[in-house]
Amino acid sequence: MLIRLSEQRAWIHVSLALLVGGALAHALCATLAPSEETAGSWPGLIFGSMALAMMVFAGLLTPRKKLRALPLGSAAWWMRGHVWFGLLSLPYVFFHSGFEIGGVYTQALLILFILCYASGIYGLIIQQIVPRMLLGAVTREMIYERIDPLIQSLAESSLETVRKTCGPFNRPLGAHLEVIGGPDNGTHVLLAERELFVFGREMDIPVVITDPTVALRHFEVLRSGGKYLLGAREGNMVLVNDQPVERSELAEGDKIRVGDTLLQFSHPTPQEVQVLKSFFVEDVQPFLLPKPVPAAIQKFRTVEDISNAFGHVRKFIQSENLKKVIDDLLDSTLLRRELLICKRLHHWLNGWLILHIPMAALLLFGSALHAVISLLY
């Protein structure tokens, strides 16, 4: 909870009034009736009851969060009460005991109280710092529960992108066509796998295009002597770089339009493909993993580090298709860095609760038991 004075004035005034009033009442009792300053006296019991009531109110925050549908006041109101009554409970415990430590049980209870109190103050301080760090470190809102699935998705989608564009990692990539517009957007066709590819809507041809504006057998691509020749079938309209053609030798980056479908031809050199594959396998993939390799974290520590690394690789890439892959990997790497920071800061933000909540529950039980024993015996 971020503490903004404009939102906390009422709680501050109430807390100060209770603190000053309690201190004056304790001082008055100690002056007028020193024997009545003990925990078992009427003033001591009143102070103890108030301290226990504050602790119970603070402890009700957790069940209140689970009962959001009930009209029990806003979660923010309960959180403010948790903080201010939690802070106020310690002075009232000392007013209750007359600043005496007591026996073994009360000593143990006091130690537990101080540890719980200290962990709460630590958490309050952390909550003033970490949210501001998050705002400065990330560029988008992130829900903690969705971070791990998003990390897994980034790793898988990036690997699939590289495989589609660069081919299997155990062999070099030949030329390929990618559908970049139309119903089959994202489809890749590796042209090196056979000599002749026929494109159209017919179901028994090598490449089926579901676009209804495309003919059954609209065009073909023939591999001949390291070149890739496009030919329109049966007089169908084919545009290459917005120019109608019947036959055309495809070059790197050519855009082919048939009906409402747009494809792009790419024939990167083996050297370009190897550069991208090596960069992905050695640097990017280890960083995108759910548990990144420490060396990769160090390599991509800042946005500038990431930009420099990707900028260096781009110098060796001429293929427009591979440049798009580099841009996609750059976006994924920048997002992964933000997710890494976000997860680490969330651990700082909430990690202390692992100790605070069990200690608070044990403290409430111990305090209630202490109250019952004191009243009965």
Does residue 359 sit in the same domain as residue 295? no
With residues binned 3-state (H G I as helix, E B as strand, rest as coil), the percentages for the chain, rounded to 5, are: 60, 10, 25
**138 neighbors 129 (Cβ within 8 angstroms):** no
In a domain, 361, yes or no: yes
Same domain, yes or no, for 365 and 292? Answer: no
Q: Which residues does 306 contact at the CB level (< 8 Å), separation at least 6? A: 300, 330, 333, 334, 337
Q: Are residues 184 and 254 in the same domain?
A: yes
> Is 342 within a domain?
no
CB 2 within 8 A of CB 127: yes
Same-domain status, 16 and 108: yes
Domain assignment present for 37: yes
DSSP 295-349: HHHHHTSSHHHHHHHHHHHHTT---HHHHHHHHHHHHHHHHHHHHHHHHHHHHHH
Query: How many structural domains does the chain have?
Result: 3
Q: What is the CATH number of the domain that holds 199?
A: 2.60.200.20
pLDDT reading at 137 higher than 80: no
Q: Can you give the pLDDT at residue 227?
A: 87
pLDDT band at 100 (very low <50, low <70, confident <90, very high): confident
Check residue 37 and give its pLDDT: 55
Residues 208 and 69 placed together within one structural domain of the fold: no
Are 180 and 229 in the same domain?
yes
Question: Is beta strand 243-244 parallel, antiparallel or unpaired with respect to 261-266?
Answer: unpaired
What pLDDT is attached to residue 298? Answer: 94
Same domain, 27 and 133: yes
Question: Where does the pLDDT of residue 1 fall: very low under 50, low under 70, confident under 90, or very high at 90 and above?
Answer: low
- Looking at residue 177, what is its pLDDT? 87
Domain around 322: 146-168+271-336
User: Residue 279 burial (CB < 10 Å; 0-12/13-18/19+)?
Assistant: buried
Same domain, 22 and 101: yes
Point out which residues pair with 39 in neighbouring strands.
none
Distance CA 72, CA 357 (A): 22
Residues 162 and 296 in one domain: yes
Co-location of 233 and 311 in the same domain? no
Residue 8, pLDDT above cutoff 60: yes
* Residue 169 pLDDT level (bands cut at 50, 70, 90): low
- This prediction has a pTM of 0.66
Residue 341 inside a domain? The answer is no
Q: Which of 266, 292, 321 is the last residue of a domain?
A: 266
Round the average pLDDT of the chain to a whole number and report it: 88
Do 183 and 164 fall into the same domain?
Answer: no
| Residue 291 and residue 249 in one domain | no
Residue 192 or residue 295, greater confidence: 295
pLDDT in tens, 235-256: 899 999 999 999 999 988 899 9
